[in-house]
Amino acid sequence: ANSKLLTFRLADHQKNLLLQILNKEAEQAADNEKFYYKQHKDDPKPIEPEMPQEMMSKDRRIQLNYKFLKGCVETGPVEPMQQAWADRILKMIPDNLKHGRHLGELMQELLAEVKILFESSMRKSMVQHVLIKPEVKGLENEEGGPPPEEPVGLDYSKPWHETFQENQ
């Protein structure tokens, strides 16, 4: 019975020694790294550095918000050019230019380029109609702003041919 009690006391003593060694090592590491080591609960807390209320200026937030919205509008879906419009463009080309050795391939390349330009101009127009470019620093070189105004006095609601026939 004595041996069990003795081994228990020895184990408890070894545990306390181990904890003391661990605490000393921790204190030395804290001193070496110049960390604040709190020894008592009554010690004053270190003064925390004051952070600004906002990490970004208002102009910077507006600029990032505008660029994000512009990216969303530009990457949004755009209606592709209708085939009827492409057919009308092709009808305007004289027949002698349509039929040739390499002219057919050239016509297809030009039509593909027209479709790409149509899509890019539609995206640009969407940005101009949907977003208003804010007047903040950093957006000076951005293309944007309100859409161009329509010329005064031009009315395209009626085809010109009808008014031409009426005036004859």
Domain encompassing residue 19: 1-37
* 159 within domain boundaries: no
* 13 and 83 housed in the same domain: no
How does pLDDT run along the chain (168 residues), one tens digit per residue?
A: 567 667 777 788 888 899 999 999 888 877 776 655 555 666 677 777 777 777 778 888 888 888 898 888 888 888 889 999 888 888 888 877 777 777 778 888 888 999 999 999 999 888 888 888 888 887 777 776 666 677 676 666 666 677 777 887
Q: Report how many domains make up the chain.
A: 2
Check whether residue 139 and residue 71 sit in a common domain: yes
**Helix (H), strand (E) counts: the chain:** 6, 0
63 vs 57: CA distance, rounded Å: 10
Count of CB atoms within 10 A of residue 86's CB?
15
pTM: 0.51
Same domain, 66 and 22: no
